[in-house]
């Protein structure tokens, strides 16, 4: 899925790296991660930019900047999904989908959109970012068993949707 920091945060501060090095190494993987979660590259860019601003403000107090950045991105995506959910309840208008996107990909994106926010986040982190369950659990501040349960339910829902 591309180069990203190790689940333990990769020791950015301990290695003497700075925020610029973190930005160069993590921006593209974090935008990819956020894009998969929120379904929009533009919104993903905003979430990641906000996350880097949060990391910048707290740089001296962060032990694992890579892990902290990932957590802030995931939380930002979750916040965006909650906001979108409220908007969707009050506005039935949907955006048109470009013709050049393969139909199966549109079906997958649509099926992901129908998952709960937490299920979608777990699926993206587990299968698109290859993050282990323990790290997903730390990122979401839940137990690893909760991650496995969310993944199991999400996969069952996706199988039903994509038949």
Q: Could you tell me the CATH number of the domain that includes residue 136?
A: 1.20.140.160
* pTM of this structure: 0.62
The pLDDT tens digits along the chain (163 residues) read: 444 444 444 544 444 468 899 999 999 999 999 998 888 899 999 999 999 999 999 999 998 999 999 999 999 998 998 887 776 665 554 555 555 556 676 777 788 888 888 998 899 889 888 889 999 999 889 999 999 999 999 999 988 888 8
What is d(CA 52, CA 73) in angstroms, rounded to the nearest whole number?
Answer: 9
Range of the domain at 137: 19-161
Q: How many domains does the chain have?
A: 1
Would you say residue 9 lies in a domain? no
What is d(CA 20, CA 138) in angstroms, rounded to the nearest whole number?
Answer: 25
Nearest to 23 by CA among 44, 64, 60, 53: 53
């Amino acid at each position: 899925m591309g180069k990203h920091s190790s689940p333990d945060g990769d020791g950015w501060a301990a290695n003497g790296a700075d925020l610029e090095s973190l930005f160069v190494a993590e921006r593209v993987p974090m935008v990819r991660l956020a894009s998969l979660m929120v379904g929009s590259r533009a919104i993903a860019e905003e979430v990641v930019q906000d996350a880097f601003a949060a990391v910048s403000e707290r740089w001296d107090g962060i032990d694992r900047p890579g892990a902290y950045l990932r957590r802030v991105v995931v939380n930002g995506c979750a916040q965006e999904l909650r906001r979108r959910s409220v908007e969707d309840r009050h506005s039935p208008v949907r955006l048109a989908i470009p013709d050049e996107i393969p139909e199966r990909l549109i079906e997958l994106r649509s099926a992901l959109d129908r998952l709960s926010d937490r299920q979608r986040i777990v699926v993206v982190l587990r299968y698109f970012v290859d993050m282990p369950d323990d790290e997903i659990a730390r990122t979401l501040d839940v137990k690893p068993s909760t991650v496995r349960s969310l993944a199991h339910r999400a996969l069952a829902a996706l199988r039903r949707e994509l038949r």
